[in-house]
Amino acid sequence: MTDITTKPRAKVRLKTERPRLHKVILLNDDYTPREFVVTGLRQIAASEGMVIAAGQEGKWKTALQLVGIVALLVHYQHEVDLWVWQGPVNFNAVGQVLTYLSVVFSLWSAGVYFRGFLHMLGRRGDGSGSAEA
């Protein structure tokens, strides 16, 4: 074996660039405060022996969020072939619209839940411990 040391003759310079910018949607901006409020109201109502039924608005909010998130994950435009319609679908745009709709339903369901809670507090003196929101 020989003790030969080789050195590279060319210097390599890495060219760095700024990364491309991306749009970011914060899904928790409306969801987390609403969940804290609704969870807090549930805790207070439960400690008072009251039960407030979950409304249909909250179920729609959850469905819109989940489908919107899936559409955002698919992200790109794809050809879709349904029984009644065939053509390109921009899943990113669909996901954004569904996410914004879920914000509307989130605020609506929080208002309905809060109204139901206030209604329950008003009826608390009547001796009835449960009611629909």
Dihedral sign for Cα atoms in the order 103, 27, 79, 22: positive
Residue with tokens 């390599």: 12
pLDDT digit string (tens) for 72-92?
998 888 888 888 888 898 999
- The whole-number average pLDDT for the span 49-63 is 83
Residue with tokens 């996901």: 95
What per-residue confidence (pLDDT) applies to 26?
A: 58
What per-residue confidence (pLDDT) applies to 12?
A: 67
pLDDT digit string (tens) for 17-39?
776 777 765 555 555 677 777 77
**Out of 46-50, 108-112, 128-132, which region has the weakest mean confidence (pLDDT)?**
128-132
Give the distance from CA 115 to its chain's centroid: 23
Task: Count the neighbouring beta carbons within 10 Å of the beta carbon of residue 63.
Answer: 13
CA distance 100 to 29: 11
